[in-house]
Chain A
Amino acid sequence: SQELEQSPQSLIVQEGKNLTINCTSSKTLYGLYWYKQKYGEGLIFLMMLQKGGEEKSHEKITAKLDEKKQQSSLHITASQPSHAGIYLCGADRRLTDSWGKLQFGAGTQVVVTP
C-alpha cells in the first residue's frame, strides 16, 4: 500500500554487518507490527510497537516507533544467515478504522551473504 512505505525494497548485507529497514506511514498509526517471512511460509510475529518513542528488542533485532507515530525502523545487529527473509511492517489504524485490521507494506527482502 502506498499509505505504508517500506525501504529499501531489498538489501544484501554481509554476515556480521548491521542493517536497518524503515516503514513510513502517511496516516496516523495506533500501532505498528513487524513480521518476518521465509519464502513460501507464514509470517512470524516479531514485535508490536504502540507508544510513540517505544523501542523493543528481541535477540539481535530492535524496532523503534518515532514520537509522532508515523515511522518505524527495524535494526538487526551483526546479521546472521538466519536473518535472511522478507520483513513486513503492518499498520494498525484502529483509531480511524476497525480494531485489529492490519495494512501491510510491500516488504523488504534481506539477503545475508557469507
Chain B
Amino acid sequence: DAGITQSPRHKVTETGTPVTLRCHQTENHRYMYWYRQDPGHGLRLIHYSYGVKDTDKGEVSDGYSVSRSKTEDFLLTLESATSSQTSVYFCAISESRGADTEAFFGQGTRLTVV
C-alpha cells in the first residue's frame, strides 16, 4: 500500500458544511494526488501536489481546495459540500523506481453529502 492512509474512511455530512479529507503517507513521496471515482465517470483527478506547498488543479477541481504543509500530509477540503460531491475519494502517490514509475492508491474515503 506504499504507506498511504486515508481518513476518515467513511463520512456523511450535510449540504453546505465544510469537509476535510486527509491523506497521510510514510515514505516521503514527493508527488501526491486526489481522485474521485463515480459510476459512469471512472476516476478523475481533482488536485495534485509536486511538493510541499506546491499544488495544481486537475480535471475536476471546482469546489475543492488542497493543502500540503508537510511532505507526509495532503489535505482535500470541500469548502461547502454539495450533493454532487458524494463520491469515493482516493489519494495516490507516484514514485520513480529506476526507469519505471509506480503509482499507488489509498483505500478510499466514501463521502455522502445529504
Q: Please tell me if the beta carbons of A48 and B31 are within 8 angstroms of each other in the complex.
A: no
A98:B56 contact, CB within 8 angstroms: yes
Please choose the segment from B12-20, B68-76, B79-87, B102-110 that sits at the chain A interface, where 4 or more of its residues have CB less than 8 A away.
Answer: B102-110
- How near does chain A come to B76, taking the closest CB pair, in angstroms? 16
Number of interface residues of B (CB under 8 A): 29
Minimum C-beta distance from B68 to chain A (A): 14
Stretch in A13-21, A57-65, A72-80, A99-107 touching the partner:
A99-107
A42–B43 CB distance below 8 A = no
Residue contact A90 to B48, C-beta cutoff 8 Å: no
**Are A98 and B104 touching (Cβ within 8 A)?**
no
Number of A-B contacts (CB under 8 A): 66
A100 and B103 contact, CB distance less than 8 A: yes
How far, in Å, is B71 (CB) from chain A's closest CB?
Answer: 15
Size bracket, chain A contacts = 20 to 34
B91 to chain A, nearest CB (A): 9
Residues of B within 8 A of A106 (CB): 40-42
A71 CB to nearest chain B CB (Å): 18
Determine which of A1, A33, A40 lies in contact with B103 in the assembled complex, contact meaning CB atoms within 8 Å. Answer: A33
Grouping DSSP codes into helix (H, G, I), strand (E, B) and loop, the B interface class, with mixed when no group exceeds half, is strand
Query: Once the chains are docked, how many angstroms separate the CA of A107 from the CA of B108?
Result: 17
**Interfacial residues of chain B within 86-103, with CB under 8 A of chain A in the complex:** 90, 92, 94, 99-103
Q: Known contacts being A99-B31, A100-B48, is A45 close to B42, with CB within 8 Å? A: no
Q: List chain A residues, Cβ under 8 A from B94.
A: 99-100
Residue in contact with A88 in the complex, picked from B43, B92, B102, CB distance below 8 Å: B43
B108 touches A105 (CB 8 A): no
A40–B41 CA distance with the chains assembled, in angstroms: 16
B50 lies within 8 A of chain A by Cβ: yes
- 8 Å CB contact of B90 from A43, A98, A99, A101: A43
Residues of A within 8 A of B (CB): 1, 31, 33, 35, 40-43, 45, 48, 50, 88, 90, 92, 98-107
